[in-house]
Structure 1
């Protein structure tokens, strides 16, 4: 499949909102509950694992930090990619990137990239574990590394790699009433994806695509 043309994902119709599914209860979003879930994980299967490819190459290994900031109401740390990036320009993403040969594992990649992109110091991060790999349409095989982040952390944005960093309440993202399904057809091939748009003051944060897909898998993991 050739690369789809530029389009505005926010204008693609929504065909389903998952109001019929139950939100993750608040008691399951505490640091203790999250640690316990990774210490004794349930039997479960990820819902979304592979997007329809538009890059003709073997997937490149990558990792992202699904970072949970442990405020009174936990949040998820997200970034916005600059408009000049060659892939996923302007999109909302987790901090992360390609694995380097010197990285010991996916967690090492995610922590290194988070430090490079937003200045997150590893001493403020406690890695809990990983979720199954998610293969993007741009041919990245991404391992989400789930971690707790101390609210004492400070950020310093690398504007070459990230245009913004912000937080979205974890409870909002773990409530399927905010999970919207979109459908788009290009060259006779239909793609479907999730979005989780969040109103952040006067600005809407349009979380969609791979980032929303990995968050959906995290929802399934917590609900299993």
Structure 2
């Protein structure tokens, strides 16, 4: 079975059953009450290899928010975007020069609500391997590819906590070749691992 078909089947099955994802898994723990959220989307671009990879970016150090952090290509849904998928494709093209027509859309995973006021929809897509991508320097310092199996394997993530005693909040961290993947990006990967049933997908 081709990678795109395997992913579609795994994602559909994951959404059809209760996998135990809680509200705390889909929102920043600092959100204590209902807040106004702006629609946003990220592209979870999976490379079509025998051992699939996952394209991630390193945000520019000059950005006002989340400077230098590892992230998926993506951003706010604009008025001209038909939906979250269109927004994710547009942002990936703007940030790293990924041509939208090369993305085979698989579907969407669990939304994530951020403390900064965004309702993020992860859009999964399969892309050809070894694309020549060019980061948009104002937003993206670099991009890299991590093995999908590594990113989704529970053994490679650590659950950590931050904050004063009695008001701690937890987050996940994944380390790969000196790069720290945490916060929103890691939370989306953890939920995606559960939806895709990591052990079965990579078997």
TMscore range, shorter length? 0.7 to 0.9
In the TM superposition, what are the counterparts of 1:145-156 in structure 2 within 5 Å?
A: 145-151=123-129, 153-156=131-134
The offset of 1:85, in angstroms, is 1.1
CA distance, structure 1, for counterparts of residue 41 and residue 75 of structure 2: 6
Q: Partner residue of 1:34?
A: 7
Query: In 2, are the aligned partners of 1:60 and 1:141 still within 8 Å (CA)?
Result: yes
Measured against aligned partners, the alpha-carbon deviations of 1:134-180 in whole angstroms (never above 9, x if no partner) come to: 01222211000011111153211101110000000001012111010
The offset of 1:187, in angstroms, is 8.5
CA distance, structure 2, for counterparts of residue 182 and residue 49 of structure 1: 16
Q: For 2:27, which of 50, 55, 67 is the aligned residue?
A: 50
The offset of 1:52, in angstroms, is 2.6
The offset of 1:124, in angstroms, is 1.2
The offset of 1:188, in angstroms, is 5.4
CA distance, structure 1, for counterparts of residue 130 and residue 61 of structure 2: 30
CA distance, structure 2, for counterparts of residue 191 and residue 86 of structure 1: 23
> Mind listing any 5+ residue stretches in structure 2 that lack a counterpart?
199-203
Q: Partner residue of 2:201?
A: none
Q: For 1:100, which of 78, 83, 106 is the aligned residue?
A: 78
Q: Structure 1 residue runs of 4+, over 6 Å off?
A: none
CA distance, structure 2, for counterparts of residue 83 and residue 210 of structure 1: 18
Return the structure number with greater helix share.
2
Q: Partner residue of 1:21?
A: none
CA distance, structure 2, for counterparts of residue 160 and residue 145 of structure 1: 23
Q: For 1:85, which of 38, 56, 63 is the aligned residue?
A: 63
Measured against aligned partners, the alpha-carbon deviations of 1:32-76 in whole angstroms (never above 9, x if no partner) come to: 31122245543135351011337x962221100011011221011
* Aligned-residue CA RMSD (Å): 2.3
> Mind listing any 5+ residue stretches in structure 1 that lack a counterpart?
1-26
- The count of aligned residue pairs is 193
**Secondary structure in 2 aligned to 1:129?**
strand
Higher mean displacement: 144-153 or 94-103? 144-153
CA distance, structure 1, for counterparts of residue 47 and residue 5 of structure 2: 13
**TM-score normalised by structure 1 residue count:** 0.79
Q: For 2:181, which of 188, 207, 210 is the aligned residue?
A: 207
Q: For 1:160, which of 138, 142, 145 is the aligned residue?
A: 138
Cα pair distance change 1:103/1:198, threshold 3 Å: same
Q: Partner residue of 1:135?
A: 113
Cα pair distance change 1:150/1:49, threshold 3 Å: same
Q: Partner residue of 2:155?
A: 177
Measured against aligned partners, the alpha-carbon deviations of 1:117-148 in whole angstroms (never above 9, x if no partner) come to: 00000121011111121012222110000111
